[in-house]
């Protein structure tokens, strides 16, 4: 099930710095940094929605396992 995205709630977008034609959409009210894996090349990118910039980063080792204390329901 998809929710409709509202164009009005978007503040802008940041391109992945790895050179792929992928972008991350930044919503109004979002601040801080977040990490997304590039859907094309699989590299990790850290986005800063405050400065609207992005850098390619090496994934933090074991971060997912550490944060994933509760297992999501398997599909
Ligand atoms: Zn990429």
To the nearest 5 percent, what fractions of the chain are helix, strand and coil? 10, 35, 55
| Residue 6 token pair | 């509202």
The alpha carbon of 56 and the centre of ligand 1 are apart by a number of angstroms equal to 9
List, as ranges, residues with CB under 5 A of the ion ligand 1: 18, 20, 38, 40-41
Q: Is residue 4 part of a domain?
A: no
Q: Is residue 37 part of a domain?
A: yes
Residue 68 has pLDDT above 80, yes or no: no
Q: Is residue 5 part of a domain?
A: no
The alpha carbon of 22 and the centre of ligand 1 are apart by a number of angstroms equal to 7
Q: Is residue 75 part of a domain?
A: no
Give the burial class of 47: count Cβ atoms within 10 A of its Cβ; 0-12 exposed, 13-18 middle, 19 or more buried: buried
Tell the residue number behind the tokens 């080792």, with chain if given. 61
Q: Is residue 51 part of a domain?
A: yes
Range of the domain at 53: 10-70
| Residue 7 token pair | 């164009």
Q: Is residue 15 part of a domain?
A: yes
Count how many domains the chain has: 1
Query: For 30-43, what is each residue's pLDDT tens digit?
Result: 999 999 999 999 99
Query: For 40-51, what is each residue's pLDDT tens digit?
Result: 999 999 999 999
Q: Is residue 44 part of a domain?
A: yes
Task: Give the angle 53-55-56 at the CA atoms, nearest 5°.
Answer: 150
Q: Is residue 43 part of a domain?
A: yes
């Amino acid at each position: 099930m998809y929710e409709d995205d509202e164009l009005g709630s978007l503040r802008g977008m940041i391109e992945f710095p790895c050179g792929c034609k992928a972008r991350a959409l930044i919503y109004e009210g979002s601040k801080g940094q977040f990490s997304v894996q590039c859907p094309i090349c699989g590299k990790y990118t850290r986005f800063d929605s405050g400065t609207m910039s992005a850098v390619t980063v090496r994934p933090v080792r074991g971060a997912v396992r550490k944060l994933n204390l509760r297992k999501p329901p398997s599909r």
